[in-house]
């Protein structure tokens, strides 16, 4: 009877681990902020120059 309970508990843990793995881990947003600002700072003048050349 105890062996059956252990198997049942193990099966429940395996099935629950599938649900826990389905959630994506949250990435810290603050680490990407300087990269985004740098990309915007580089791309904005290029876009403005291209728009200026078209008009």
Q: What is the largest CA-CA distance in the chain?
A: 83
What digits encode the pLDDT tens for the residues 7-17?
878 877 766 65
Structure tokens at 15: 């099935």
Residues 18-38 have pLDDT tens digits of 555 555 556 655 667 888 889
DSSP 24: P
What is the reported pTM? Answer: 0.40
Angular region, 41: left φ>0, alpha ψ -120 to 50, beta rest: alpha
pLDDT for 32? 74
Q: What is the pLDDT of residue 13?
A: 73
């Amino acid at each position: 009877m105890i062996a059956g309970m252990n198997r049942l508990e193990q099966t429940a843990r395996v099935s629950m681990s599938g649900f826990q793995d389905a959630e994506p881990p949250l990435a810290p947003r603050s680490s990407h902020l300087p990269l985004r600002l740098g990309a915007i700072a580089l791309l904005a003048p290029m876009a403005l120059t291209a728009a200026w050349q078209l008009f």
